[in-house]
Amino acid sequence: MSKKIGFIGLGNMGYAILSAFITQGALDKKEIAVVSRSEKGRLLAEKEDVVVFSNTKELACFADIIILAVKPKDSLAVIAEIKQELKNKALLSVVAGLNYKTIQQTMDGVNVRVLTALPNTPVQVCQGIIALTKETTFTEEEKKFTQTIFESAGMVEWIEEKFLPVFSAIAGSGPAFAAIFAEALADGAVLEGLPRALSYRLAAQMMTGTGALLLETKNHPGIIKDSVSSPGGTTIEGVAELEKNTFRSALIAAVRASAEKFNRLIH
Protein backbone atom coordinates (compact mmCIF):
# COMPACT_ATOMS: atom_id res chain seq x y z
CA MET A 1 0.00 0.00 0.00
CA SER A 2 1.59 3.26 -1.12
CA LYS A 3 0.11 6.73 -0.80
CA LYS A 4 1.51 10.22 -1.17
CA ILE A 5 1.32 12.29 2.00
CA GLY A 6 1.23 16.08 2.03
CA PHE A 7 1.92 18.19 5.12
CA ILE A 8 0.40 21.65 5.29
CA GLY A 9 2.37 23.30 8.07
CA LEU A 10 5.60 22.11 9.59
CA GLY A 11 5.72 23.45 13.13
CA ASN A 12 6.92 21.41 16.09
CA MET A 13 4.17 18.77 15.89
CA GLY A 14 4.13 18.53 12.10
CA TYR A 15 7.88 18.08 11.96
CA ALA A 16 7.85 15.54 14.80
CA ILE A 17 5.33 13.41 12.88
CA LEU A 18 7.17 13.75 9.58
CA SER A 19 10.49 12.88 11.21
CA ALA A 20 9.01 9.77 12.84
CA PHE A 21 7.57 8.58 9.51
CA ILE A 22 11.01 8.94 7.87
CA THR A 23 13.28 7.63 10.65
CA GLN A 24 11.09 4.58 11.24
CA GLY A 25 10.81 3.85 7.51
CA ALA A 26 7.03 4.19 7.41
CA LEU A 27 7.18 6.27 4.23
CA ASP A 28 9.61 6.88 1.41
CA LYS A 29 10.79 10.49 1.18
CA LYS A 30 9.55 10.66 -2.40
CA GLU A 31 6.02 10.04 -1.10
CA ILE A 32 6.12 13.06 1.25
CA ALA A 33 5.53 16.67 0.34
CA VAL A 34 5.46 19.80 2.50
CA VAL A 35 4.29 23.36 2.23
CA SER A 36 5.18 25.75 5.04
CA ARG A 37 4.75 29.49 5.37
CA SER A 38 7.65 29.72 7.82
CA GLU A 39 11.29 29.79 6.78
CA LYS A 40 12.10 27.35 9.57
CA GLY A 41 9.56 24.83 8.26
CA ARG A 42 10.89 25.08 4.71
CA LEU A 43 14.46 24.55 5.91
CA LEU A 44 13.44 21.50 7.93
CA ALA A 45 11.65 20.03 4.91
CA GLU A 46 14.70 20.60 2.73
CA LYS A 47 16.89 19.03 5.43
CA GLU A 48 14.73 15.88 5.31
CA ASP A 49 14.99 15.90 1.50
CA VAL A 50 11.23 15.69 0.90
CA VAL A 51 9.25 17.42 -1.86
CA VAL A 52 8.63 21.09 -1.08
CA PHE A 53 5.81 23.04 -2.70
CA SER A 54 5.42 26.79 -2.74
CA ASN A 55 1.64 26.78 -2.23
CA THR A 56 -1.13 24.67 -0.71
CA LYS A 57 -3.04 24.07 -3.95
CA GLU A 58 -0.05 22.37 -5.60
CA LEU A 59 0.46 20.18 -2.53
CA ALA A 60 -3.24 19.21 -2.40
CA CYS A 61 -3.08 18.13 -6.05
CA PHE A 62 0.04 16.03 -5.38
CA ALA A 63 -1.03 14.18 -2.23
CA ASP A 64 -3.51 11.35 -1.64
CA ILE A 65 -3.76 12.19 2.06
CA ILE A 66 -3.27 15.76 3.24
CA ILE A 67 -2.18 16.25 6.86
CA LEU A 68 -3.33 19.62 8.17
CA ALA A 69 -0.83 20.73 10.83
CA VAL A 70 -1.26 24.50 10.96
CA LYS A 71 -2.12 26.73 13.91
CA PRO A 72 -5.79 26.52 14.99
CA LYS A 73 -6.44 30.16 14.06
CA ASP A 74 -5.32 29.49 10.47
CA SER A 75 -6.96 26.10 9.92
CA LEU A 76 -10.37 27.07 8.48
CA ALA A 77 -8.87 29.61 6.08
CA VAL A 78 -6.43 27.00 4.77
CA ILE A 79 -9.21 24.44 4.26
CA ALA A 80 -11.38 26.98 2.45
CA GLU A 81 -8.41 27.91 0.26
CA ILE A 82 -7.92 24.38 -1.07
CA LYS A 83 -11.38 22.84 -0.82
CA GLN A 84 -11.73 22.34 -4.58
CA GLU A 85 -8.35 20.59 -4.75
CA LEU A 86 -9.44 18.34 -1.87
CA LYS A 87 -12.38 16.94 -3.83
CA ASN A 88 -12.47 13.13 -3.51
CA LYS A 89 -9.28 13.17 -1.42
CA ALA A 90 -8.50 12.45 2.24
CA LEU A 91 -7.85 15.20 4.79
CA LEU A 92 -6.34 14.33 8.16
CA SER A 93 -6.35 17.14 10.72
CA VAL A 94 -3.95 17.21 13.70
CA VAL A 95 -5.17 20.70 14.65
CA ALA A 96 -6.24 20.78 18.31
CA GLY A 97 -9.87 21.77 18.74
CA LEU A 98 -10.85 21.43 15.08
CA ASN A 99 -13.60 18.85 14.87
CA TYR A 100 -15.03 16.71 12.09
CA LYS A 101 -18.30 18.63 11.78
CA THR A 102 -16.58 22.01 11.38
CA ILE A 103 -14.29 20.67 8.65
CA GLN A 104 -17.26 19.29 6.71
CA GLN A 105 -19.12 22.58 7.04
CA THR A 106 -16.09 24.50 5.78
CA MET A 107 -15.91 22.21 2.74
CA ASP A 108 -19.37 23.55 1.77
CA GLY A 109 -20.56 20.40 0.02
CA VAL A 110 -17.27 19.44 -1.62
CA ASN A 111 -16.76 15.70 -1.18
CA VAL A 112 -13.68 15.05 0.97
CA ARG A 113 -12.97 12.19 3.33
CA VAL A 114 -12.08 13.47 6.81
CA LEU A 115 -10.27 12.09 9.84
CA THR A 116 -9.21 14.03 12.93
CA ALA A 117 -6.18 13.01 14.98
CA LEU A 118 -4.50 14.22 18.15
CA PRO A 119 -0.84 13.27 18.72
CA ASN A 120 1.17 14.20 21.82
CA THR A 121 4.69 15.60 22.02
CA PRO A 122 6.56 12.31 22.69
CA VAL A 123 6.03 11.46 19.01
CA GLN A 124 9.30 13.41 18.73
CA VAL A 125 11.06 10.30 20.06
CA CYS A 126 8.62 7.80 18.51
CA GLN A 127 7.07 7.15 21.92
CA GLY A 128 3.90 9.17 21.50
CA ILE A 129 0.21 8.46 21.79
CA ILE A 130 -1.94 9.28 18.78
CA ALA A 131 -5.73 9.45 19.01
CA LEU A 132 -7.59 8.75 15.77
CA THR A 133 -11.31 9.48 15.89
CA LYS A 134 -13.88 6.85 15.03
CA GLU A 135 -16.09 9.47 13.37
CA THR A 136 -14.44 9.41 9.96
CA THR A 137 -15.25 9.04 6.28
CA PHE A 138 -11.83 7.55 5.45
CA THR A 139 -12.04 4.29 3.53
CA GLU A 140 -11.05 1.12 5.37
CA GLU A 141 -7.83 1.07 3.34
CA GLU A 142 -7.05 4.67 4.33
CA LYS A 143 -7.79 3.95 7.99
CA LYS A 144 -5.48 0.95 7.97
CA PHE A 145 -2.76 2.91 6.16
CA THR A 146 -3.07 5.85 8.58
CA GLN A 147 -2.85 3.59 11.61
CA THR A 148 0.21 1.84 10.20
CA ILE A 149 2.19 5.01 9.52
CA PHE A 150 1.26 6.61 12.85
CA GLU A 151 2.32 3.49 14.73
CA SER A 152 5.85 4.45 13.69
CA ALA A 153 5.44 7.46 16.02
CA GLY A 154 3.96 5.61 18.99
CA MET A 155 0.77 4.01 20.31
CA VAL A 156 -2.40 4.51 18.25
CA GLU A 157 -5.84 4.56 19.89
CA TRP A 158 -9.16 4.86 18.03
CA ILE A 159 -11.55 6.87 20.20
CA GLU A 160 -14.88 8.65 19.89
CA GLU A 161 -14.48 12.33 19.13
CA LYS A 162 -16.34 13.27 22.32
CA PHE A 163 -13.42 11.86 24.32
CA LEU A 164 -10.79 14.09 22.68
CA PRO A 165 -10.91 16.65 25.54
CA VAL A 166 -10.04 14.07 28.21
CA PHE A 167 -7.55 12.38 25.88
CA SER A 168 -5.90 15.76 25.46
CA ALA A 169 -5.84 16.26 29.23
CA ILE A 170 -4.12 12.92 29.89
CA ALA A 171 -1.96 12.34 26.81
CA GLY A 172 -1.58 15.89 25.52
CA SER A 173 -1.19 17.86 28.75
CA GLY A 174 0.13 14.86 30.66
CA PRO A 175 3.74 15.27 29.50
CA ALA A 176 3.76 18.70 31.17
CA PHE A 177 2.35 17.20 34.39
CA ALA A 178 4.89 14.37 34.22
CA ALA A 179 7.74 16.81 33.57
CA ILE A 180 6.74 18.83 36.66
CA PHE A 181 6.66 15.57 38.64
CA ALA A 182 10.13 14.64 37.38
CA GLU A 183 11.47 18.11 38.17
CA ALA A 184 10.00 18.02 41.67
CA LEU A 185 11.47 14.56 42.32
CA ALA A 186 14.84 15.81 41.13
CA ASP A 187 14.56 18.90 43.35
CA GLY A 188 13.95 16.60 46.30
CA ALA A 189 16.98 14.52 45.36
CA VAL A 190 19.13 17.65 45.01
CA LEU A 191 17.93 18.74 48.44
CA GLU A 192 19.33 15.44 49.74
CA GLY A 193 22.67 16.11 48.03
CA LEU A 194 22.38 14.22 44.71
CA PRO A 195 23.80 16.01 41.62
CA ARG A 196 21.03 17.58 39.52
CA ALA A 197 21.90 15.93 36.18
CA LEU A 198 21.88 12.51 37.83
CA SER A 199 18.62 13.35 39.61
CA TYR A 200 16.93 14.17 36.30
CA ARG A 201 18.19 10.96 34.69
CA LEU A 202 16.93 8.86 37.59
CA ALA A 203 13.51 10.52 37.58
CA ALA A 204 13.13 10.16 33.80
CA GLN A 205 14.19 6.52 33.72
CA MET A 206 11.97 5.73 36.71
CA MET A 207 8.94 7.10 34.82
CA THR A 208 9.93 5.27 31.63
CA GLY A 209 10.39 1.99 33.50
CA THR A 210 7.18 2.31 35.50
CA GLY A 211 5.20 3.09 32.34
CA ALA A 212 6.65 0.02 30.63
CA LEU A 213 5.84 -2.09 33.70
CA LEU A 214 2.21 -0.92 33.67
CA LEU A 215 1.83 -1.60 29.94
CA GLU A 216 3.54 -4.99 29.89
CA THR A 217 2.03 -6.47 33.06
CA LYS A 218 -1.38 -4.79 32.60
CA ASN A 219 -1.53 -4.65 36.39
CA HIS A 220 -3.64 -2.08 38.19
CA PRO A 221 -1.38 0.83 39.24
CA GLY A 222 -2.31 0.11 42.85
CA ILE A 223 -0.71 -3.33 42.61
CA ILE A 224 2.61 -1.80 41.61
CA LYS A 225 2.29 0.79 44.36
CA ASP A 226 1.52 -1.92 46.94
CA SER A 227 4.40 -4.11 45.76
CA VAL A 228 6.86 -1.31 46.51
CA SER A 229 5.24 -0.18 49.77
CA SER A 230 6.55 -2.48 52.50
CA PRO A 231 4.86 -2.23 55.94
CA GLY A 232 6.51 0.54 57.93
CA GLY A 233 8.94 1.15 55.05
CA THR A 234 10.36 4.18 53.28
CA THR A 235 7.92 4.16 50.33
CA ILE A 236 4.72 4.15 52.39
CA GLU A 237 6.16 7.02 54.39
CA GLY A 238 6.44 9.02 51.17
CA VAL A 239 3.00 7.90 49.96
CA ALA A 240 1.49 9.14 53.21
CA GLU A 241 3.11 12.53 52.65
CA LEU A 242 1.70 12.70 49.11
CA GLU A 243 -1.78 11.89 50.43
CA LYS A 244 -1.42 14.54 53.14
CA ASN A 245 -0.69 17.10 50.41
CA THR A 246 -3.65 16.02 48.20
CA PHE A 247 -1.40 14.70 45.40
CA ARG A 248 -4.15 12.59 43.79
CA SER A 249 -6.79 15.29 44.11
CA ALA A 250 -4.47 17.82 42.50
CA LEU A 251 -3.89 15.52 39.49
CA ILE A 252 -7.61 14.80 39.08
CA ALA A 253 -8.33 18.53 39.22
CA ALA A 254 -5.59 19.20 36.65
CA VAL A 255 -7.09 16.66 34.21
CA ARG A 256 -10.55 18.14 34.67
CA ALA A 257 -9.31 21.72 34.18
CA SER A 258 -7.40 20.79 31.01
CA ALA A 259 -10.36 18.86 29.57
CA GLU A 260 -12.74 21.74 30.26
CA LYS A 261 -10.36 24.20 28.60
CA PHE A 262 -10.09 21.94 25.52
CA ASN A 263 -13.87 21.84 25.33
CA ARG A 264 -13.97 25.62 25.19
CA LEU A 265 -11.47 25.63 22.32
CA ILE A 266 -13.43 23.24 20.09
CA HIS A 267 -14.73 24.81 16.91
Query: pLDDT > 70: what percent of the chain?
Result: 100
Mean pLDDT of the residues in the chain: 95
Q: Stretch 138-158: mean pLDDT, rounded?
A: 97
Tell me which of 266 and 91 has the higher pLDDT. 91
The pTM for the full model equals: 0.93
Q: What percent of the chain has pLDDT over 90?
A: 95
pLDDT of 5 strictly over 90 = yes
Q: How confident is the model at residue 1 (pLDDT cuts 50, 70, 90)?
A: low
pLDDT over 90 (residue 266): no
Which of 106-110, 163-167, 199-203 is predicted with the least confidence, judged by mean pLDDT? 106-110
The 3-state secondary structure of the chain, one letter per residue? CCCCEEEECCCHHHHHHHHHHHHCCCCCHHHEEEECCCHHHHHHHHHCCCEECCCHHHHHHHCCEEEECCCHHHHHHHHHHHCCCCCCCEEEECCCCCCHHHHHHHHCCCCCEEEEEEECHHHHHCCEEEEEECCCCCCHHHHHHHHHHHCCCEEEEEECHHHHHHHHHHHHCHHHHHHHHHHHHHHHHHHCCCCHHHHHHHHHHHHHHHHHHHHHHCCCHHHHHHHHCCCCCHHHHHHHHHHHCCHHHHHHHHHHHHHHHHHHHCC
Q: Give me the pLDDT at residue 265, please.
A: 87
What's the pLDDT tens digit per position in 104-126? 999 989 999 999 999 999 999 99
- What integer pLDDT is reported at residue 205 of this predicted model? 98
